[in-house]
Amino acid sequence: MPSEQKMPATQTLDTLGRHMRDLRISVTDRCNFRCTYCMPRELFGPDHAFMPRASLLTFEEIARLSALFAQLGVTKLRLTGGEPLVRRDLEQLVDKLAPIPGIKDIGLTTNGSVLTLDKALKLADAGLQRITISLDALDDPTFRALNGVAFPVDRVLAAIDNATAAGLAPVKVNMVVKRGANDHCIEAMAEYFRGSDKVLRFIEFMDVGNSNGWRLDDVLTADEIVSRINARWPIEPIAPNYAGEVANRWRYSDGAGEIGVIAAITKPFCRGCTRARLSADGILYTCLFAGVGVNLKSLLRNGAGDDDMVERISNVWHGRRDRYSELRSQETPELKEKSKIEMSYIGG
């Protein structure tokens, strides 16, 4: 039972000396958006085969696994997907995760499309602490084109307000920047969120999966993003909130708050990567760019006990060598031909 967990018995280190601290849990591979950089509609059309319901981990299974990860040192959980809020009654999962000993932080990443005030309040009541809402532009035609389903900007802005009203502040806002698609919207986004309690984070367009047609030329680099913001509103770097923080933080020199820049392509952060990932069907991956994982669901459903499961997970982490982003620039044939799991499957 998850509620009976022991506190971390061992320091779980991988082959590069990295701890396991975070678990990103994809609760579904489905999504109501078709973002061009994630689930392009040409490839995720009406005939796309999503995971059958029976293969999804149940909330009880996710909670049990989370408790086992907590025994190995995980303190932070993030629910993601696909779109996590299309999984019904997600607050019931949060309710099961919140009491797990050792878990200090539970977050959610969502496109905000179905985040009503009522839902935000239920999630917060159940123990959700933090929320990140993705929004790639304030310009309505640009956003509608990028999300692939013509979803309007104002409904995502309403979701951000709902999250804030439910006490899930400060809300983080993720903007993936793709050259030629929405890079003309950077300054408008910065201007809108400057001086608010929201933290806007710019993300370099990543080569996740094999279906988003990624090209290096489409990446607007972190340096370009920073210099464009700095040209309008001077900014200065600030220290990370904690070791291994993925976003580089910058504050506006005039005191109007801060932004984050996630330079996964140009300034890889594999050295500090403490993240494990669990797909909605229960496969454990040790890297966002992994091609294969370990099937924890079948172990669970075949009756493995907690000690066996902990040992298995610990062994996977001990053997972890992943540092894809650091190796990407080497462009070895092996890396070029690497088949990677889609982001909607593994969880962003």
Q: Which of 119, 194 has the CB closer to ligand SF4?
A: 119
Question: Is 158 a residue that touches ligand SF4 (CB under 6 A)?
Answer: no
- Number of amino acids touching ligand SAM (CB under 6 A): 20
Q: Which of residues 20-79 bind ligand SAM (CB under 6 A)?
A: 31, 37-38
Q: What burial letters (b/e) apply to 17-36, b meaning 16+ CB within 10 Å?
A: ebbbbbbbbbbbbbbebbbb
Of the candidate residues 322, 341, 345, 346, the single one contacting ligand SF4 (CB under 6 A): 322
Of the candidate residues 2, 8, 73, 81, the single one contacting ligand SF4 (CB under 6 A): 81
Q: Which stretch binds ligand SF4 (CB under 6 A): 19-27, 46-54, 296-304, 319-327?
A: 319-327
* Residue 96 CB neighbours (<10 A): 20
- Token pair 């999250």 is at which residue? 163
Residue 39 partner contact from ligand SAM, ligand SF4, none using kind-dependent CB cut-offs of 5 to 8 Å: ligand SF4
**Closest to 70 (Cα-Cα) out of 95, 94, 99, 91:** 99
Question: How many whole angstroms separate alpha carbon 73 and alpha carbon 96?
Answer: 18
Question: 121-150 mask for ligand SAM (x: CB under 6 A)?
Answer: -------------x----------------
Of the candidate residues 35, 56, 106, 226, the single one contacting ligand SF4 (CB under 6 A): 35
Q: Which of 203, 310 has the CB closer to ligand SF4?
A: 203
Q: Which of 8, 82 has the CB closer to ligand SF4?
A: 82
Between the alpha carbon of residue 165 and those of residues 93, 153, 199, 258, the distances in Å are 21, 19, 16, 21
Q: Which of 205, 250 has the CB closer to ligand SAM?
A: 205
Please list the alpha-helical segments (H only) found in the chain: 59-71, 90-97, 117-126, 140-147, 153-165, 186-193, 222-232, 296-301, 306-318, 324-327, 333-336, 343-346
Q: Is 271 helix (H, G, I), strand (E, B) or coil?
A: helix
Torsion over CA: 124, 128, 130, 135 (sign): negative
Of the candidate residues 36, 110, 162, 279, the single one contacting ligand SAM (CB under 6 A): 110
Question: 160-199 mask for ligand SF4 (x: CB under 6 A)?
Answer: ----------------------------------------
As a whole number of Å, the end-to-end CA separation of the chain is 28
Residue 273 partner contact from ligand SAM, ligand SF4, none using kind-dependent CB cut-offs of 5 to 8 Å: ligand SF4
Torsion over CA: 211, 216, 220, 222 (sign): positive
Q: Which of residues 328-347 bind ligand SF4 (CB under 6 A)?
A: 344
Residue number with the smallest Cβ distance to ligand SAM: 348
Structural contact between residues 98 and 125, judged by C-beta atoms closer than 8 angstroms: no
Residue type, 321: R
> Which burial class, exposed, middle or buried, applies to 285 when counting CB atoms under 10 A from its CB (0-12, 13-18, 19+)?
buried
Q: Which of residues 252-291 bind ligand SF4 (CB under 6 A)?
A: 268-270, 273, 275, 287-289
Q: Which of residues 14-33 bind ligand SF4 (CB under 6 A)?
A: 31, 33
Q: Which phi and psi (to 5°) does residue 237 adopt?
A: -70, 150
Question: Which residues of the chain form contacts with ligand SF4 (CB under 6 A)?
Answer: 31, 33-35, 38-39, 81-83, 111, 134, 268-270, 273, 275, 287-289, 322-325, 344
